Amino acid sequence: MGRNVLVIGASGDIGTAIYKQLITEGDQLILHYHQNKKALEGNKSDLHQESILMEIQADLSTTGGLNHLLKQLTLPVDAVIFASGKAHFGLFQDTEETIMDNMLALHVKAPWLISRHVLPQMIARKKGKIIMVTSIWGEVGASNEVVYSSVKGAQNSFVKALAKEVAPSGISVNAVSPGFIETKMNEHLLADEKDMIIQDIPASRAGTVDDVAHTVSFLMNEKSGYINGEIMHVTGGWLS
């Protein structure tokens, strides 16, 4: 039997690529989504249904949604992958406090509380993996994305600190930090803007969701067991 893996944000582009990759490796999945059930159903239609243990709908930016998710987690969780999130574009001084609260709840508080919920069983088994999909902006920052950069930076710090705390219990905590990836999050960019970014990427192309999923797969493999507290860049050399 494969591991029970909780994927937070499974209906998004990166989340979908991750859980499809894990199914090919024999894992059993608990899939979380917020609004896009149609995308989730369409993406998994050609996959082995027996590999999907359950699906949980929840808005993790709200206390009610987060509590609902935690109550549904009745199965043992061997690994959790945080692939959910949303960007916010705009001048910092124009950003409303409600948006800041929402971004903090979704990107920081929710991963904290979900990790805290699954850690006791991982510690008891002396085994477990927590993987966070963050962003290069969490390290270098981005103009007009100050709030997004801030919460992604918080995720990176969380990974580094928690890894030190739980490593003695056989648990690894790492992050995958993508650069410019072809996803719906970048659809607001004009073609010329995308071309300008790609010109600055040494690999001369945008990243794909599979580039991210393959890195997550590596961190999920037991052969990467000595890697802990790392922020692994998937950027094609961009902004390095």
Catalytic residues: 148
Question: Cα dist. 1→31, 50, 63, 211 in Å?
Answer: 18, 12, 34, 26
Query: Cβ distance 158 to 116 under 8 Å?
Result: no
Taking Cα atoms as reference points, which of 90, 86, 113 lies closest to residue 102?
86
Burial class (CB in 10 A: 0-12, 13-18, 19+), 198: middle
Q: How far apart are CA 197 and CA 2, in angstroms?
A: 40
Positive or negative, the CA dihedral 40, 1, 25, 155 is positive
Alpha helix positions (H), the chain: 13-24, 37-43, 63-72, 97-104, 110-125, 137-140, 146-166, 191-199, 209-220
Other beta carbons within 10 angstroms of residue 206's beta carbon come to 18
Query: Cβ distance 95 to 139 under 8 Å?
Result: no
Query: Cβ distance 152 to 138 under 8 Å?
Result: yes
